[in-house]
Amino acid sequence: MMSVDDPLTVTCTAPVNIALIKYWGKREEDKILPLNPSLSITLDVADLRTKTTVVASKQFDRDRLWLNGKEHDINNKRMQTCIRKLRQGADDLWRDGKLMIAKEEWKNYRLHIISENNFPTAAGLASSASGLACFVYSIAQLLQFKETFPGELTTIARQGSGSACRSLLGGFVLWESGTALDGSDSIARQIATGDKWKSLRVIILIVNEQQKKTSSTAGMQTSVQTSDLLKFRAKEVVSMQLSRMRDAIEKADFPTLATVTMQESNQFHACCLDTFPPIFYLNEVSKEIIQFVHDYNADNNDITVAYTFDAGPNAVLLTREENLEKLMNSLHQKFGFFPVTREGVTRSVFENSQ
């Protein structure tokens, strides 16, 4: 039997994804099964990303986790579920004799996980998505995890944080709500690559870097309990908007993509307002940006820019390359700041720098 190197090290990066059709609300809390399907675009991993190094050693006395230089408790339920599921997956490989490493030896290994974001954490910029996607992917690499069905890894990342399942894939990504009780069909899959729409650009306007007051997890729980609008949305609205969006992606129809994106953002924030007590993620600057986008499109007599906001005041704008310079100048004139990033949708997902 081969002996395992000690320490073993894997470093991976995972990108942020931005939801165009929003996930808000779970039908099952423990397995993180969503009320409705969602659809996102994955940003280029070069800009907004999490980088995670996992070191496994027999010299370590326990598993430990550092996030942006500060130690965090790794014994939270979600991370432990992900680690357990990944180890189970590796168990199957051991049974099949596909791993060169003695199973008994693995038991003596402990993990040190060092993770850092190159953007504000928990400010509504999808840090939990890239963070948990990277956490799961890095450990999967270390354990040489092989999927037993397509999308299995996304079902594990989903149990770390719902939106994380979408960050395992590039381009346009659909997260199915699924119907199975065990969550095995609530997977994320790519529905179009970034190449499908090379001219698409994403601009991020940092309005406030502070951590949000209401976490997404807590906020959506209260919404599920109290918002009638959220129930109506999940039942009557999302499937229609999803089909319009998929059609728009297929045809590279920007005005429709933009319209549905803005309507989705607005309905998500309307659900937050319909939650009791209400949740306010947008601030006055966010609202000015919304007004700016509608005025800009009206002045141009065309829909050339869209906004979307997640669980925070920061804006994500979508436009096409040919409109980028003019839009950036207008933004600068109006708000006096330049966006921090402007990325196309790309196919780049992970680099494994082991």
Binding site for ligand 2P0 (CB under 6 A): 19, 22-24, 32, 38, 128, 161-163, 216-217, 268, 310-311
Q: How far is the CB of 107 from ligand 2P0 (least distance, A)?
A: 30
Nearer residue to ligand 2P0 within complex by CB, 223 or 304: 223
Q: How far is the CB of 251 from ligand 2P0 (least distance, A)?
A: 23
Nearer residue to ligand 2P0 within complex by CB, 24 or 197: 24
Nearer residue to ligand 2P0 within complex by CB, 12 or 157: 157
Q: How far is the CB of 302 from ligand 2P0 (least distance, A)?
A: 27
Q: How far is the CB of 155 from ligand 2P0 (least distance, A)?
A: 13
Nearer residue to ligand 2P0 within complex by CB, 56 or 67: 67
CA-CA distances (angstroms) from residue 294 to 101, 263, 323, 348?
A: 59, 12, 15, 32
Nearer residue to ligand 2P0 within complex by CB, 101 or 274: 274
Q: How far is the CB of 224 from ligand 2P0 (least distance, A)?
A: 11
Comparing CA positions, the residue from 122, 126, 110 lying closest to residue 75 is 110
Structure tokens, 92: 């199957």
Closest residue to ligand 2P0, Cβ-based?
Answer: 162
Burial class (CB in 10 A: 0-12, 13-18, 19+), 88: exposed
Nearer residue to ligand 2P0 within complex by CB, 310 or 343: 310
Q: How far is the CB of 91 from ligand 2P0 (least distance, A)?
A: 26
The number of helices, as runs of H, and strands, as runs of E, in the chain is 10, 15
Burial class (CB in 10 A: 0-12, 13-18, 19+), 148: exposed
Structure tokens, 14: 């995972």
Asked if 135 and 115 count as a contact pair (C-beta separation under 8 A), the reply is: yes
Which 3 state secondary structure label does DSSP give 129? helix
Q: How far is the CB of 297 from ligand 2P0 (least distance, A)?
A: 23
Q: How far is the CB of 233 from ligand 2P0 (least distance, A)?
A: 12
Structure tokens, 315: 């804006």
- C-alpha angle 238/241/242, rounded to 5°? 80
Structure tokens, 59: 């010299």
Query: How many residues are listed for the chain in this entry?
Result: 354
Nearer residue to ligand 2P0 within complex by CB, 161 or 241: 161
Asked if 113 and 52 count as a contact pair (C-beta separation under 8 A), the reply is: yes
Nearer residue to ligand 2P0 within complex by CB, 165 or 305: 165
CA distance 318 to 335: 17
Identify residue 323 by its one-letter amino acid code. Answer: N
Residue ranges of the alpha helices (H) in the chain? Answer: 77-95, 103-106, 127-142, 152-158, 216-226, 228-232, 238-251, 254-274, 284-300, 321-335
Nearer residue to ligand 2P0 within complex by CB, 34 or 323: 34
β-pair partners for 111 = 56
Q: How far is the CB of 285 from ligand 2P0 (least distance, A)?
A: 18
